[in-house]
Structure 1
């Protein structure tokens, strides 16, 4: 290959597909792309049902196509994109068709189990997958990682904690790693007693002290279930045993992840709590790119504090750790039950402490029924997901009646 050809290749824009384009990760991603328009070519933007938000984003990013998973919103999307020259489509088949288009990078940021099938389908030989969807690894980690390996695809973690660990994890010296530590802010109720948490409202739970995120993940952060999910994800992302994974509560959210080595070194990644930093790391990897995030001022911050998580006051984290150790279908059922329970809490049907109570009851019931077996395909995962949701709705109905 000539030098000129090599230069042309290096200058070519990165072709990108975004799943979950209108969510919080998608919005942060869009900000980076808008600031670097020549570096990226947006092949497709995929969202759930918000035609207005998707069309606006597609126009801003000069996307080739915009796709809604909800087929009923097709006409609204066509109308919103009228005259833009951007292709519009909708429905589950349209989503799978979108991820099949030629691209260099696919960002998987769909919230919930709905992101499992399209993100799995997006894994193609040689492709780079920037993963922000927890369910791919929580619900189907073994299947997902097997598909990554089979296709020789490259997986980059977008979540701030996993991205932080990725940056300080020396893969070539994995045998010298003692521990991988994920940090947690502790959420808005870090210092609350169990009695105080009995009466907290959805509005209180949605006020995260440090991060701006979607509703479900914010509630999950308040219960610390989100940190449990992240530990399960880490067990698939990094070649360590689950006994080597730990959590530290760190209220300042400045240290996002740490790796302890056998020589006594403790390597940490620090930064302001802004999702644009880990997203940019994935977009530019193995290089870095300029991002206008607030720089972390350690002198102004003054203090970095850490504490062990309280598994009695935050039983959701305990349930997640137990599901990780149990393996099989337990993590998938955990996720499904949590999603339904969180929704019920936000609707005022159950209390805050009922969220982990519902999840624990559902996991015990499904385990007694012998339903928490390992999945051999995505369809098995979806069937278990459906069963766990049904059981959780039954629990919620019984509690609220």
Structure 2
């Protein structure tokens, strides 16, 4: 029997894939890659496949299959192509599936892994935001386990897990009642101190220049609008089964404390680490233990101070929109997510202003798109309609 932990990575060529594979590269005696799935970056995917020699590699862009086969000629690696084939790789039994595909595009493969009862390292918050109700039900039915990879949710998970380990099984209900709230932290992004009257001149280049984290363009814009933190509040609701009033977020510019649990006795348990995605990923890969790797040491003396600030609604209206969507429930989170993806893409393409992102999301939510959230197809239908509405709104702004 192999002593290796076997891993499938969905979104292998993205930032989550990069960070996961960096840890695998440092610990070849602990981990083995079963499957790698990428979108369209065929050259990078081929290089990774040749380095880590998975059993199978999938590329969602079927037009790149021939090039991938050419690059892997002579290897014994199986190749699949197209969304449907790649999605099915999530069901291959492994120790952990890393779900790192960005946006709602990652939902079908995420659901496939849940249906297969996998342990899933989740970095795709959009799937849980839009389809959290469905995913939670299917996970409970099939025994799937979701381990968060976002630094903030991982922080809560680590505090939660360590605390629950100290509880006798009969005391879990009593332990849950001792929680007052959880608190996620946000860096504040690149515009924390920018004058509000200068927001109209914000460019995509400005918005993707995050002060603390290295992330993809879409999530960087979400961080700048604070929509990312709003999506994380909704995600936390499904991950930890807590109501909206027990989920808080504050700005913490240093990005050292990532999450806290407040107890009703006045105690707070917090998790601290440097701003490095490999920290939460390493915990997911090795839990309940911890992976011995070589991160940059956190020098708390050099930090000097830790600051906390409220999230200003005038500066970050997207955060308030997400909070309200969680309270409204129903189709609202799916509408929020779909409209936001369209608006962010339009901003990055130079079609709308930074401030118009919140306007488009708010106007999309105001349309009160009907639908249900009890099946995957129903959620996707709501998402499609939200995107259609948001696209129309984008076109109106472009035409002004």
- State the TM-score bracket (shorter-chain normalisation): over 0.9
SS in 2 for 1:139: helix
Give the CA deviation at 1:321: 0.3
Contact 1:333 1:372 in 2 (8 A): no
TM-score (norm 2): 0.95
Take 1:37 and 1:351, find their aligned partners in 2: how far apart are those partners? 46
Query: What corresponds to 1:66 in structure 2?
Result: 57
Contact 2:106 2:124 in 1 (8 A): yes
SS in 2 for 1:198: helix
**Residue 315 of structure 2 is aligned with which of 313, 317, 333?**
313
Query: What corresponds to 1:388 in structure 2?
Result: 386
Take 1:372 and 1:218, find their aligned partners in 2: how far apart are those partners? 30
Take 1:126 and 1:390, find their aligned partners in 2: how far apart are those partners? 33
Deviates more, 1:118-127 or 1:216-225: 118-127
Does structure 1 residue 177 correspond to structure 2 residue 179?
yes
Give the CA deviation at 1:97: 2.7
Query: What corresponds to 1:20 in structure 2?
Result: 11
Take 2:372 and 2:294, find their aligned partners in 1: how far apart are those partners? 44
How many residue pairs match? The answer is: 388
Give matches, 1:1-400, under 5 Å: 12-124=3-115, 127-169=118-160, 170-171=163-164, 172=172, 173-365=175-367, 367=368, 371-400=369-398
SS in 2 for 1:356: helix
Take 1:358 and 1:13, find their aligned partners in 2: how far apart are those partners? 47
Residue ranges of structure 2 left out of the alignment (5+ in a row): 165-171
Contact 1:250 1:305 in 2 (8 A): yes
Give the CA deviation at 1:125: 5.5
Contact 1:143 1:377 in 2 (8 A): yes
Residue deviations 1:29-87 (CA, integer Å, cap 9, x gap): 00001111121221110111111111111122221111011212111211121223221
Residue ranges of structure 1 left out of the alignment (5+ in a row): 1-7
Residue deviations 1:164-202 (CA, integer Å, cap 9, x gap): 001112343111000100000000000122211111111
Give the CA deviation at 1:126: 5.0
Give the CA deviation at 1:250: 0.3
Take 2:265 and 2:234, find their aligned partners in 1: how far apart are those partners? 26
SS in 1 for 2:6: strand
TM-score (norm 1): 0.94
Take 1:124 and 1:354, find their aligned partners in 2: how far apart are those partners? 38
Output the aligned Cα RMSD: 1.2
Give the CA deviation at 1:124: 4.7
